[in-house]
Amino acid sequence: MIRINCQPRTLLALIYTCLGLLFAGCSSIPSQPANDELDYISRATSSSQNGVTASASVLSAEESLEVYGVELASLGIQPVWIKIENHDDRAYWLMSVGLDPNFFPPTEAAESFSSQSGEDELEQRFRELAFRNPVPPGGTVSGFVLTNLDEGVKMVQLDLVASGQMRSFSMLTNVPGFRADYHNADEIFARYIDKPEEITDYTDADAFRKALGELPCCVKNSKGTRDGDPLNLVIVGGLEDAFPALVRRGWRPTEQTWSGAIIKMMNSALAGKPYLNAPISPLYLYDRPQDLALQRARDNIHQRNHLRLWLSPMSYDEKPVWIGQISRDIGTRLTIYSPYLTTHKIDPNVDEARTALTEDMAYSQNLAKIGFVTGVGEASREAPRRNLTRDPYYTDGFRAVLIFDDQPRSLAQIEFLPWEKLSGGFSEQFRQDGQ
């Protein structure tokens, strides 16, 4: 094995050179992302509760320019269009801080463009476009709340309060103009929604536990001939509970590996800045690359937690089951075992990333149950296994099972399933409390 360690800036220069040479000859990588020129009203996400219907849509940079006449995206401002239809007998007030604690009032956003001509007219336009409280009984109100810019997906939280009443809507919305790394997205989500006959639905906890323990230990390479990182995670839930919980806790979708993403990655590396949606390499399960990939980055591109998920042919109590692999990147290095000649170095203690995610999801307010099953196989610090880029890792051999619900749950309400017993820390505390 060839392993080269370099100083950070030297390594970055080498990465830049290697990737530039690699992608210069790759005609299959598009030069720019697809442009979905969809009307923001027609693609709005809607939800109803007890006589109140809420709709929301996130505007692209181009749509923002068309609506407001100025480039809001250049200043990190992202309009969210909201429509509230109130069929209740009381008035409701939309809490803008629930959508974004650091939202931009219309006058503040307009002031950011005060050097432009027509300042008074611009401020008036911003005020007229803004969502205006309250929403009267039997009335409908629509308008914009100016939020901080997100890419990929945006968690739209709409909290409506009335005298003696509250309506809360959590909507996971797509952000136009972002090329998310959703391999075979149409096929995957069609399967997710339609639930074909080949999916096995488990209702018995012991049978479900057994099935999870019989899954492969690890991801594979594209040919299926070599084992890689451990499959150490199971997520039970989907668009209504699990994914909103992940986004709420700062997990972001990764971008496809196209030329624009490569440029952003290199610029982030050289500038020492984060790239919250940086691409990750494909790993394989069920003879296909990950269906979804999420990450939570630190303040530079070298360090991040990243998560790959595959939609499995099973469900639990009619909830979709996703098989996952999670690890923590702690640096970068050159390697001959990657087609890009570079790779992130993972923390060899892969159980730490698994535990960190479990703790993180406990704060999401949507985690209902935690359990642990066998199936990964133990690997010690003294005799570690290696992933596909030859990084060593060790593990207790268990995979975490996180079961989500769309109803809010406090830390004290999380149930620990009496399956495998882990010792130490967070898991042990739950085990003791659950017995």
33 is a domain residue: no
Q: Mark which of 127, 145, 174 sits at the end of a domain.
A: 174
User: Which residues does residue 346 pair with via DSSP β-bridges, in sequence order?
Assistant: 329
Structure confidence at residue 421 (pLDDT): 86
Domain that holds residue 286: 3-26+179-434
Q: Does 90 have pLDDT greater than 90?
A: yes
Same domain, 170 and 206: no
118 is a domain residue: yes
Same domain, 124 and 187: no
> Of residues 249 and 25, which shows the higher confidence score?
249
Same domain, 163 and 197: no
Q: Mark which of 134, 153, 174 sits at the end of a domain.
A: 174
Same domain, 185 and 170: no
Measure the CA–CA gap between 395 and 420, rounded to whole angstroms: 15
C-alpha dihedral sign at 421, 322, 297, 21: positive
| Residue 425 backbone zone (phi > 0: left; psi -120 to 50: alpha; other: beta) | left
Same domain, 301 and 429: yes
Please compute Rg for the chain using Cα positions.
23
Q: Does 381 have pLDDT greater than 90?
A: yes
Same domain, 134 and 11: no
Side-chain half-sphere of 318: how many Cα atoms within 13 Å? 3
For residue 140, name the pLDDT band (cuts at 50, 70, 90): very high
- To the nearest whole number, what is the mean pLDDT of the chain? 82
Same domain, 287 and 392: yes
Is 93 in contact with 52 (CB distance < 8 Å)?
A: no
Side-chain half-sphere of 68: how many Cα atoms within 13 Å? 33
282 is a domain residue: yes
Same domain, 14 and 114: no
Q: Mark which of 115, 140, 174 sits at the end of a domain.
A: 174
Same domain, 161 and 225: no
Give per-residue pLDDT as tens, 165-190.
Answer: 999 898 888 888 766 665 455 556 55
36 is a domain residue: no
Same domain, 151 and 214: no
Same domain, 162 and 303: no
* CATH code of the domain in which 127 resides: 2.60.40
Structure confidence at residue 422 (pLDDT): 81
For residue 345, name the pLDDT band (cuts at 50, 70, 90): confident
Measure the CA–CA gap between 218 and 232, rounded to whole angstroms: 8
> Of residues 363 and 35, which shows the higher confidence score?
363
For residue 337, name the pLDDT band (cuts at 50, 70, 90): low
Q: What are phi and psi of 360, to 5 degrees?
A: -60, -45
257 is a domain residue: yes
Which amino acid would we find at residue 352? Answer: E
99 is a domain residue: yes
The arithmetic mean of pLDDT across residues 397-404, rounded, is: 97
38 is a domain residue: no
Q: Determine which of 20-34, 118-132, 139-153, 410-424 has the lowest per-residue pLDDT on average.
A: 20-34
Domains contained in the chain, number: 2
Same domain, 137 and 226: no
292 is a domain residue: yes
